[in-house]
Structure 1
Amino acid sequence: MVQTSQSDYLVVKGEDITLRGEPILLKGAGLGGWMNMENFITGYPGHEFQARAAIKKAIGQEKYEFFFDKFLEYFFGEDDAKFFASLGLNCIRLPVNYRHFEDDMNPRVFKKEGLKHLDRVIDLCAKYGIYTVIDLHAAPGGQNIDWHADAGNHQALFWEHKDFQDRTVLIWEHLARHYKDNTWVAGYNPLNEPTDIEHTRLLDFYVRVEKAIRDIDPHHILFLDGNTFGADFSRFGEPLPNAVYACHDYSRYGFPNPPADFTGSAEQVAYHEKSFNRKVEYMKRIKGPIWNGEFGPVYQNANDGLPDWKEINERRYNVLECQLDIYAKSKASWSIWLYKDIGFQGMVYVGEDTPYMQRLKPFLEKKKRLAADEWGCDDIPVREVFDPLEKWFLDAVPSLAQRYPQTWKPATHIGRVVRNILLSVSAIVPPTTCRLGQITLHPQAMLGGSG
């Protein structure tokens, strides 16, 4: 075994992340859709565990295991690491789902195969000089109210049941034990985008998980997201040692139906500066490093029926450029969301002529018409249905306008339950009619292509 010393690890020193005393900025992307699948990234509706269950019933256990093993293998390979490094990027955030490490029906039993592909990708990245941040994107019970926590509902039950928190601590103890000597792991991101309505339970958990990890691994940095999707640090007090506090900084101008197109005006630049400075005020106050763990626009394509789709994308590239300029002035490390998908937000994407995209095309078009996925959806086609429903809700329950998180409009709360959960889950084809079992599944053809 190669011997390591404290000087080989990245470490927080004042306002900087440093290596052997020299500041280093982490610049990269998140490998979303890989060990934590998301509906808009890979095309299925609803939540990952539901789609996996439907596929297993359709093709059987053996083919299911083979397919997803190859899915994970081909999603990110050596060519990806080589390409990523060629862009001058030096860090990949690796979102993982707890279900790779334990099952709800067999909790606290760590799966031996759970680290197979995580090890492989971390080693590949190290080969090309790329650091990795391990991000628990989906924790037992769901640490947030979104689909990517893979809980199947709109409640963050992680905060309501100590057992879910206990299991999460055990997972991090396993990961810390396994990676404590790996200096190419930049650190651990214990919870992605937590939504603790009480604001204090998150802070208690961070103290607890920090101690559990440090008892095993005293070296690696902890990357700690702010509350309410990485945007709220208002209750945060004294920083934990060797910790980087992380915001997420999406721009409303990077998504459909913005208040106005981004033109780069002084007012719009000032808006982005103000939004970012609000999110990083805590980091500046404690004089610590800044890491923006997620940001980035979504993009249109020729199939969206918009004659000016190329111009729209140019404006969204300009949003991205504006944000990167702001981060550079603040000496902020960053991780764009995301590296690879089916052609919506990724830096690279699956080719439209691949078997995967050809098979999914009619379904993706239907999802778009129904605004079934929350992320980046254009809800104009369904507003005639949902505007009266929103009015009805607000007339009956005016307090919906103050429901947590306050950054969500009533339409978001309603759409999340009705479209993104009820409609999307219903769209998962019952196994009695599913024809996936008659298809030759070829993950390499599905996920190897790029645009």
Structure 2
Amino acid sequence: MTDDQRFLRVAGSGLADATGAPVRLRGVGLGGWMNMENFITGYPATETLMRRAVRGVLGEDRYHRFFDRLLTAFFGDDDAAYLASLGLNCVRLPLNYRHFEDDRAPFKILEAGFEQLDRVIDTCARHGVYSVLDLHAAPGAQNHHWHSDNPSHIPAFWEHAHFQDRVVNLWQVIADRYAGHPWIAGHNLLNEPADPTGEIIGPFYARLVDAVREADPRHTLFLDGNTYSTRFDMFGEPWENTIYTCHDYALAGFVYGGPYPGRTEGVWVDRGQLEEKFLERTAYQRRTGTPIWVGEFGPVYTGDPERDAQRYRILRDQLDIYDAHDAGWSLWTYKDVGLQGLVHTAADSPYTRRFGAFQDKKARLGADHWGSTDDGVRHLTEPVHAFMAEEYPDFDPYPFGRRKFTDDLLRHILFAQPLTVEYAELFRGLDDGELDALADSFSFSSCTRREPLADLLTERCRPGGAR
């Protein structure tokens, strides 16, 4: 097959290459790489706040030494080969805009970020793995949480045209740069948008789609729905060669979830409930006959064999549902410090030895929205929740209500942000070799594989199944 024939395009309710052969994208998200997240690599709060604190300890040169090496170690040829060996055929690449543009010089594009992105796209291509480019953190933050590098709880992206203009410009640059690259499956224009009014996202998407199509009319577009890619009511007739991607996290698979089957937060969760939520989140795609692609899903693992067996059952049931609907998918996430990753840092790695106790403290304080519960701080948080319920009974803020709003402010901002100083201090006094060893802890050869998860994915992607 020639490179030109490898370009993918929407064909009815699926994808096909230029020869007409159907291609079903099944892969992983590379969270923690060019968009870092606190639960993935073990730091507190947001990427920018953490980097600022570490820069203050290491100084400019040694700061760049560590983070440049971390980017290179986090994904390389061994990683791509491993994913291909499992039968996976795509990697979703989450990107933080700060690799490509500086807030102090908006609209001025930085080449350094593209050097890393080029490297991984080409590495995946050598192993027959497609890339999906995903803008995960936009200027001003397109949603309320840490994964858009948001230090507050306000998605200012939707309030300021300046931020939207910068995203349009950045995507035109990205689209133009990769317009001829056959191993890019497409462009995921904005991860998990959360427009509180629901009035801006539709017109903005229309503008962005036109701008990207002008620079690159060939590649498929992947569009996330509003409210963290669960609602698609802003879309009318589907755009040509466009996939509308849902995210499909199971309530029972959250860090606080379970048992499965069983009740989580007052909701009975079993296979029937999983399918009901999937059908709800894909109603637009099924009505319009467009492809279904689950851009993110996947449970959190606990280390408890019985609970983790239930998490694998959740995952198996979800994959059964996706197979029944010929849905593609991208599991979250590929590599981390042990919460969800297909591979993760080893218990005896230099990084775990250096930061393990700190991560235990983060868990005790419930400082990660995704990776911890409030068990250790409930004596502090419950009186505030009770106060909020009594004084503001009708307060139901978008997107997830009063309790999660209060948790965001208390645990994930007030408790988490001071921890950036403590995390950064753990870098103090390290020599260059020790810094390199910390970064290299995330290399494939140094990591541990989550074998039951790998076996499950291989089973679903073995030759003879849907491509």
Same fold (TM > 0.5)? yes
Aligned 1:154-165 pairs, distance under 5 A: 154-165=153-164
Partner residue in 1 for 2:463: none
- State the distance in 1 between where 2:369 and 2:151 align: 14
Aligned 1:54-93 pairs, distance under 5 A: 54-93=53-92
Q: 1:430, CA displacement in angstroms?
A: 6.9
Aligned 1:201-216 pairs, distance under 5 A: 201-216=200-215
- State the distance in 2 between where 1:222 and 1:176 align: 11
Contact 1:144 1:194 in 2 (8 A): yes
Change (3 A) 1:226 1:249: same
- State the distance in 1 between where 2:234 and 2:379 align: 40
Contact 1:263 1:315 in 2 (8 A): no
Deviations 1:138-174 (A, max 9, x none): 0000001111111211111000000000001111011
Partner residue in 2 for 1:304: none
Deviations 1:251-304 (A, max 9, x none): 01112333643379x971111110000000000001000010000001112xxx
Structure 1 counterpart of 2:279, from 277, 280, 286: 277
Partner residue in 1 for 2:407: 415
Identity percentage over the alignment?
44
1:404 aligns with 2:398: yes
Deviations 1:28-86 (A, max 9, x none): 00000000000000011000001111111111111111111111000001000000000
Contact 2:252 2:269 in 1 (8 A): no
Q: 1:333, CA displacement in angstroms?
A: 0.4
Deviations 1:311-366 (A, max 9, x none): 11011001000000000000000000000000111000000111111111111111
Change (3 A) 1:83 1:430: closer
Contact 1:29 1:91 in 2 (8 A): yes
Partner residue in 2 for 1:445: 440
Aligned-partner residue type, residue 399 of structure 1: D
**Structure 1 gaps, min length 5:** 302-308
Contact 2:255 2:370 in 1 (8 A): no
- State the distance in 2 between where 1:199 and 1:174 align: 27
Secondary structure in 2 aligned to 1:107? Answer: strand
Aligned-partner residue type, residue 450 of structure 1: C
Which contiguous aligned blocks of 4+ residues in structure 1 show a shift greater than 4 angstroms?
none
Partner residue in 2 for 1:119: 118
RMSD of aligned residue pairs (Cα, Å): 1.9
The number of residues matched between the two structures is 437
When the two structures are superposed, what TM-score results if normalisation uses the length of structure 2?
0.90
Deviations 1:233-256 (A, max 9, x none): 123211111100000000011123
Partner residue in 2 for 1:291: 293
Partner residue in 2 for 1:178: 177
Contact 1:4 1:181 in 2 (8 A): no
Aligned-partner residue type, residue 162 of structure 2: D
- State the distance in 2 between where 1:437 and 1:385 align: 32
- State the distance in 1 between where 2:261 and 2:74 align: 33
Aligned 1:177-256 pairs, distance under 5 A: 177-256=176-255
- State the distance in 2 between where 1:161 and 1:269 align: 42
Contact 2:441 2:447 in 1 (8 A): no
Q: 1:411, CA displacement in angstroms?
A: 2.1
Deviations 1:355-396 (A, max 9, x none): 111111111111111110000422223223222211101222
Q: 1:397, CA displacement in angstroms?
A: 1.7
Q: 1:410, CA displacement in angstroms?
A: 2.3
Secondary structure in 1 aligned to 2:447? Answer: coil
- State the distance in 2 between where 1:247 and 1:388 align: 36
- State the distance in 1 between where 2:381 and 2:439 align: 40
**Structure 2 gaps, min length 5:** 449-467
Contact 2:243 2:291 in 1 (8 A): yes
Contact 1:136 1:191 in 2 (8 A): yes
Partner residue in 1 for 2:338: 343
Aligned 1:341-380 pairs, distance under 5 A: 341-380=336-375
